[in-house]
Amino acid sequence: MVWDRIYRPSPVEAPVEEWGGIAYALAGLEVALDDRWEIAPLVRVGRDLAPQANAFLRDLTRRAAAARFIEVPQPNNRVTLHYSSALRRTERLTGGVPAWTWSELGPLVDDLDALYVNFISGFELPLETAQQLRRGFPGPIYADLHSLFLGVTPQGDRVPRALPDLDAWFACFDAVQVNEDELGIMGGDPMSIPLRALAAGVRLFVVTLGARGAVYFTQRPFTFDPREGGAGTGPIETARIAAEDNVKDGDPTGCGDVFGATLVAGLLAGRPMTDALRQANHAAGRNLRHRGATRLHYHLRGAIAPR
In a domain, 205, yes or no: yes
Q: What are the respective helix, strand and coil percentages of the chain, to the nearest 5? A: 35, 25, 40
Whole-number pLDDT of residue 269: 95
Q: How many CB atoms lie within 10 A of CB 217?
A: 21
Q: How far apart are CA 12 and CA 5, in angstroms?
A: 16
**For the chain, how many helices (H) and strands (E)?**
10, 14
In a domain, 249, yes or no: yes
In a domain, 244, yes or no: yes
Whole-number pLDDT of residue 295: 81
- State the residue range of the domain holding 24: 2-297
Domain count, the chain: 1
pLDDT tens by residue, 211-268: 899 999 999 888 898 876 566 678 899 999 998 765 667 778 889 999 999 999 999 9
More confident: 34 or 9? 34
Note whether 46 and 74 are within 8 A (CB): yes
* Per-residue pLDDT at 272 exceeds 60: yes
Give the least confident one: 4-8, 36-40, 254-258, 259-263.
4-8
Of 206, 181, 184, the C-alpha closest to 194 is 206
Whole-number pLDDT of residue 6: 85
Whole-number pLDDT of residue 125: 94
Average pLDDT (44-72) is 89
Handedness of CA 124, 130, 136, 140 (dihedral sign): positive
pLDDT tens by residue, 188-203: 888 899 999 999 999 9
In a domain, 303, yes or no: no
The DSSP-derived string for 128-184 is HHHHHHHHH--S-EEEE-GGGGEEE-TT-BEEE---TTHHHHHTT-SEEEEEHHHHH
Q: How far apart are CA 278 and CA 226, in angstroms?
A: 24
The DSSP-derived string for 47-63 is GGGHHHHHHHHHT-TTB
In a domain, 307, yes or no: no
In a domain, 306, yes or no: no
In a domain, 228, yes or no: yes
The DSSP-derived string for 4-43 is EEEE-S-TTSPPEEEEETHHHHHHHHHHH--TT--B--EE
Of 248, 242, 222, 244, the C-alpha closest to 233 is 222
Whole-number pLDDT of residue 81: 86
Whole-number pLDDT of residue 179: 95
DSSP 126: -
More confident: 91 or 170? 170
In a domain, 305, yes or no: no
Q: What is the CATH number of the domain that holds 158?
A: 3.40.1190.20
